[in-house]
Structure 1
Amino acid sequence: MKHFKLKHLIFIAIAAIIASCSSNNNDEDTTATKPIVPKKELRGVWMATVWGLDWPMGNYDSQSQQELYKSYLDLFAANNINAVFVQIRGMADAFYDSQYEPWSKNITGDATQKPDYDVLKFLIDEAHKRGIQFHAWINPYRIATRTDKNASFPALDPKIPKEWVKDYNKIRIYNPAMPEVQSRITDIVKEIISKYDVDGIHMDDYFYPALDGDEKINDDAEYATYGNGKYSSVEDFRRDNVNKVIQDIQKAIVDTKPKVVFSISPAADNDNNYNNLYADVVKWSQEGWVDVIIPQLYFATGSAASSFNQRLYWWSQFTYKNALMVGYGLYKFGDPTAGDKFQTSDDLKSQFDYAASKPKVQGSILYSAKSLLDNKVNIMDVIKKVYSRPALPPFLGRTTVAAPSIPADVKISGSNISWDTVNGSRYAVYKSNGAGQTAYLVAITSSTTYSLSEKGTYFVTAVNADNVESDISTLVTY
């Protein structure tokens, strides 16, 4: 018995020594021996163009439009915002020369008048010049609105077959049940991504219309024609009509230009999405049909079911094969009808803080651009603080992409840090805060040199077009 115990103790001691050696070897490979790069983060702004809300604000001459847009982008860049979501198709109209729909009347004041510049190309190019992603925001079904059923809708453009249209008291839409409509929406997405260098296709929460009062969705005939005993209820039929469009758009993107990101911004209340708008957002997430989900969390913080906190907690539990980001309702701040918490900017900071506590959250999108200009209750003070340093957008692709090579020959000359070119990359310059500590991102640049403004230890990474980042370079001290 004693002999057995001795052998047993010797075995334990040897195992402990092996484990200790193994642990030491692993420690040499951990991030504790080198700086840590900060979490990647998409920081976007929605720019609404229906009725000229954010842009072009009723300006119908090209120079005024362009100057306003550039002033927005300069404001975004100065505040380390790295994405803009511009509404380029708000009501079955287009900010480009479309085969399928008329020009937006918000550009020239007249849908039949072609603008004197390539509007969408200008919008994209100016964003990219500043290192800002451009996401093309479209509304799938909405064609026009009116004040009530006694008013008239605008004349339907000849490019849109009247047989594809469904009218309600306050809204005219493409009929979601028609296969021709489902194909048309997908074809429009193909047209956009084929002709223009957009970084993303984006949709908000306008699916089946949210109707007032006792008005109901009028689709008995469509259900009889296309449902044909295939569904257990008309509600399932409606949800599947929207599902087909979402799935077809995702497939069109993958087949046509797979680097394009597909994002959707649903209403905060998923019961409303599912039962009234017939948008089965959770299914889209589970199936991987969308890359990013951005719930519109336009509520104050708190513990109520409809609060910012509880809504974000819910979405954190029910997003699956996609990135989760937060939509912030800046427009509510300073609105006297929005409630006490929106009368100062304090709750905006609380919202950002709560979102930062959720590991799934990979970014923020602000609604809307004009609110940054208005700066009611000094919301820009919060934004400047939260976005005080630059941020790299996260990789939102569908397949694993190889990281670029590590920048080589990193050196200091005077106050400049320089490195060798890595083909197809831009670069992130970091200031180290020590091994195992999160570094500061100082700059994102397409150059292979950068002028440093303060003493410290620095390193560089390469970032490819898909926002995949290399490992860190050697450290150099200035």
Structure 2
Amino acid sequence: MSWRSGTSIRVLAATVSAGALAACGVPALGGTDERDAGGKAPVPADARAECAAIAAPGDSAERRLRGMWIATVAGIDWPKGKTRERQQDDYRKLLDTAQAMRLNAVFVQIRPNSDAFYPSPYEPWSQWITGKQGKDPGYDVLGFMLKEAHARNLEFHAWFNPYRVSRDPDLKKLAPNSPARQHPDWVRKYGTGLWYDPGLPQVRDLATKAVMDVVNKYDIDAVHFDDYFYPYPEDGRDYPDQATYKTYGKGMGKAAWRRQNVDTLVRSLSQNIHKAKPWVRFGISPFGVWRNKSTDPAGSDTHALESYDAQYADTRKWIKEGWLDYVTPQLYWPIGDRRADYATLVDWWSKQVAGTKVQLTIGQAAYRVGEDATWKKPAELSRHLTLNRKYPAVRGDVFFSAADLAANRHGFAARVRDDHYPRPAVPPVVQDRGGEAPPSTQDLRAEPAGKGVKVQWRPAKGATAYAVYRVDGKRPGCAPVDPQRLIANVRGGGIVDPSAKPGKSYTYYVTALDRLHHESAPGRGSTVTVPRG
């Protein structure tokens, strides 16, 4: 039996099947009675007022962002096949993995190399879709991916690389309409590939146009950057931007000037994104070490590459300035590592976001499982999530990457799920980006359906998703909900709960959430008794 198999919550009135949500291991929850197997109980005319005093669940510690990266450069995770049908089927399988893990977000790479997984007026179609840059795949890849993710109520974080052009140093291999091909003076050869020069205003303008084109055209939840700003150092060689520095440096030291270039892009993108759509978040996943304490007293007690000096990424400043909505440092070391101890870095990053509105999630190295004696232990990543619970500032985890979660080497993914994800989770509330809790749901009905219980409700105005809670037995029609009784977080107008047991009674409650995860108070609950046989 596959580790991903199990009882599935089925979403009603959704555009596609919810996929393989492995619900086995969810503790029995249970209910209120508005109707049961024997008939209907009348709903008071003042039911809305009756439940008005019930408080909304709030932003509890049970709320977590649970995500995985889907890398497309070189087909690391996707796409593997070249036909539309194969690509779409493979992508759905990755989303099945996300649901089996009870995740609630995917971070999908849509601009890996100054190219696009969508029809772009600025850049060619990505070579990683068809094998040839500029070749139209015959469908809107991003549109498809976004629709499939949202149908499963997975947040879609659109992942861009701002400066990388190609892994191949031959400029002539790029599509004729590539901006790099049309403006070779923007491009620098470094290491084994091609990069845009971050010091050029034209480059920053291109990156901004590419991002904002997607923000304006697509219903994404967030814009996401990873750790690639100035490229990682190659053999001690300096990045070849001396001419640009001479033109734009204005008396600054080169390192400070480079950081200013990256700062300018981050700040302006933050402003543009939030001006266009305040609800779209902007997040960055930097290399896990900002600076070492031996270099800077404000740094971490580590002995590793410093992104502040190597890539000119001053993530700490971006947090303090409030340019980011979330930060996801890549803490790809084990607990106790002598160079960069995972525990030390979680503590350090927690302190950086303290007193800010920036949410902290941790990048987890699923790809390293099986590398050596430490990483062959299936519990290593589970230990990371256990340690995270000591830090209230940590609001979740993102795993690199999707293919590694699906592979479940040494059983690590199943271990993480069983130890830490026994039930679904609603993501944390997004602060200071507007939004408000929708009205409470109405007309909740729970009734036997085959071997399970069908739960339906009337959609609430302004709601993007719904949280379904279940309690054992007959409970009051109006009652607060316990986050630990969550059994589903879905889009659509209902679910089928197949884990309800014959002969037992349950009470279901449903709350409504907006796209920034503000949650309504529960509407009046509904109780059902599941028939025997």
> What TM-score bracket applies, with the shorter chain setting the length?
0.7 to 0.9
Question: Residue 443 of structure 1 aligns with which residue?
Answer: 488
Match of 1:141 among 153, 163, 176: 163
Is the CA contact (8 Å cut-off) linking 1:38 and 1:438 kept in structure 2? no
Letter in 1 for 2:348: W
Cα 1:35–1:92 shift into 2, 3 Å: closer
* In structure 2, C-alpha distance between the alignment counterparts of 1:136 and 1:174, rounded to whole Å: 20
- Give 1:323's aligned residue: 359
Greater shift, 42-51 or 297-306, is seen at: 297-306
With over 3 angstroms needed to count, the CA separation of the structure-2 counterparts of 1:35 and 1:451, relative to structure 1, is farther
Instruction: Give secondary structure in 2 for the equivalent of 1:285.
Output: helix
Q: Report the equivalent of 1:105.
A: 127
* C-alpha contact (below 8 Å) 1:35/1:439 kept by paired residues: no
After the TM superposition, which of the residue ranges 261-270 and 217-226 deviates more from structure 2?
A: 217-226
TM-score by length of 1: 0.85
SS class of match (1:270): coil
Alignment partner, residue 341 of structure 2:
307
Which one of 49, 64, 80 corresponds to residue 102 of structure 2? 80
Say if 1:228 and 1:67 are closer, same or farther in 2 by CA, change over 3 A.
Answer: same
Match of 2:74 in 1: 51
Match of 2:173?
155
Structure 1 residues without counterparts, runs of 5 or longer: 1-28
Find the residue that maps to 1:88 and give its secondary structure. strand
Deviation at 1:341, TM superposition (A): 1.4
CA contact (8 A) 1:144 1:154 kept: no
Counterpart for residue 382 of structure 1: 415
Residue equivalent to 1:214: 236
Distance 2:136 2:480 in 1: 58
Which residue is 2:515 aligned to? 465
Please give the per-residue CA displacement for 1:237-256, whole angstroms capped at 9, x wherever unaligned. 10010001001111111122
Give the direction of change, closer, same or farther, for the CA distance of 1:294–1:35 in structure 2 (3 Å limit).
closer
Cα distance, 1:259 vs. partner? 1.7
Q: What's the TM-score once normalised by structure 2's chain length? A: 0.77
Where 1:363 maps in the other structure, the secondary structure is strand
What does residue 226 of structure 1 align with? 248
- Contact 1:45–1:83 (CA under 8 A) maintained in structure 2: yes
**Which secondary structure state, in structure 1, belongs to the residue aligned with residue 435 of structure 2?**
coil
Q: Secondary structure at 2:260's aligned position in 1?
A: helix
1:37 Cα deviation after fit: 6.3
Deviation, structure 1 residue 460: 2.1
CA displacement at 1:260 relative to structure 2: 1.3
Q: CA deviation at 1:309?
A: 0.9
Alignment of 1:327-476 (within 5 A): 327-335=363-371, 339-385=372-418, 386-396=420-430, 398-410=432-444, 412-413=446-447, 415-425=453-463, 426-432=465-471, 438-451=483-496, 453=500, 455-476=505-526
Match of 2:344, SS state, is helix
The 3-state SS of whatever aligns with 1:395 is coil
Cα gap change, 1:127 to 1:227, in 2 (>3 Å): same
Superposed displacement of residue 209, structure 1: 1.1
The count of residues paired between Structure 1 and Structure 2 equals 439
Equivalent AA in structure 2 for residue 467 of structure 1 = H
| Equivalent residue runs for 1:180-191 within 5 Å | 180-191=202-213
Q: Which structure carries more relative contact order (alpha carbon 8 Å, separation 6+)?
A: 2
Moved more, 199-208 or 33-42: 33-42
What is the match of residue 22 of structure 1? none
- Residue 290 (structure 2) aligns with: 270
**Per-residue Cα deviation, 1:21-55 (whole angstroms, up to 9, x for no partner):** xxxxxxxx998x99996622111110111111110
Q: Tell me what 1:289 maps to.
A: 323
CA contact (8 A) 1:432 1:438 kept: no
Q: Which structure's CA Rg is the greater one?
A: 1
Distance 1:46 1:332 in 2: 14
Contact kept, 8 Å, 2:62 with 2:484, in 1: the verdict is: no
Amino acid across the alignment from 2:326: V
1:472 Cα deviation from its structure 2 partner = 3.0
Residues in 1 aligned to 2:349 and 2:61: alpha-carbon distance in whole angstroms: 24
d(CA) in 2 for partners of 1:250 and 1:98?
21
Residues 421 and 136 of structure 1: CA distance in aligned 2, closer, same or farther (over 3 Å): closer
Conserved? CA contact 1:35–1:437, under 8 Å? no
1:369-404 C-alpha deviation (Å, 9 max, x unpaired) = 110222111112213212221111223253342221
Choose 125-134 or 274-283, whichever is displaced more.
125-134
Alpha-carbon distance, 1:305 to partner: 5.3
Counterpart amino acid of 1:256? A
User: Using the alignment, how far apart are the partners of 1:256 and 1:368 within structure 2?
Assistant: 30
Residues 349 and 113 of structure 1, relative CA distance in 2, 3 Å threshold: same
Q: Which segment is superposed worse, 212-221 or 273-282?
A: 212-221
Instruction: Compute the displacement of 1:257 (Å).
Output: 2.1
Tell me if structure 2 keeps the 8 A contact 1:431–1:439: no
Cα contact 1:304–1:310 (8 A) shared by 2: no
Mapped to 2, the partners of 1:34 and 1:470 lie a distance apart of 8
Shift in CA distance, 169/75, structure 1 to aligned 2, threshold 3 Å: closer
Q: Which has the higher helix share?
A: 1
* 1:202 CA displacement: 0.6
Q: Does 233-242 or 380-389 show the bigger shift?
A: 380-389
| Aligned residues of 2:279 and 2:433 also touching (Cα < 8 A) | no
Once structures 1 and 2 are overlaid, which stretch shifts more, 236-245 or 416-425? 416-425
SS in 2 for 1:343: coil
What is the aligned partner in structure 1 of residue 191 from structure 2? 169
Question: Compared with structure 1, are the counterparts of its residues 36 and 256 closer, same or farther at alpha carbon in structure 2 (3 Å cutoff)?
Answer: closer
Cα deviation for residue 436 of structure 1 reads: 9.5
Aligned partner of 1:11 in structure 2 is none
The reply to whether residue 129 of structure 1 matches residue 151 of structure 2 is yes
Separation in 1, partners of 2:384, 2:273 = 33
Q: Which moved more, 1:412-421 or 1:119-128?
A: 412-421
Please say which of residues 220-229 and 270-279 is displaced more in the overlay: 220-229
CA–CA distance in structure 2, aligned partners of residues 84 and 325 of structure 1: 13
**Identity of counterpart residues, as a percentage?**
35
In structure 2, runs of 5+ residues without a counterpart are 1-52, 292-305, 473-478, 529-533
- Matched residue, 1:14: none
Whole-angstrom distance in 2 between the partners of 1:459 and 1:124: 29
CA RMSD, aligned part only?
2.5
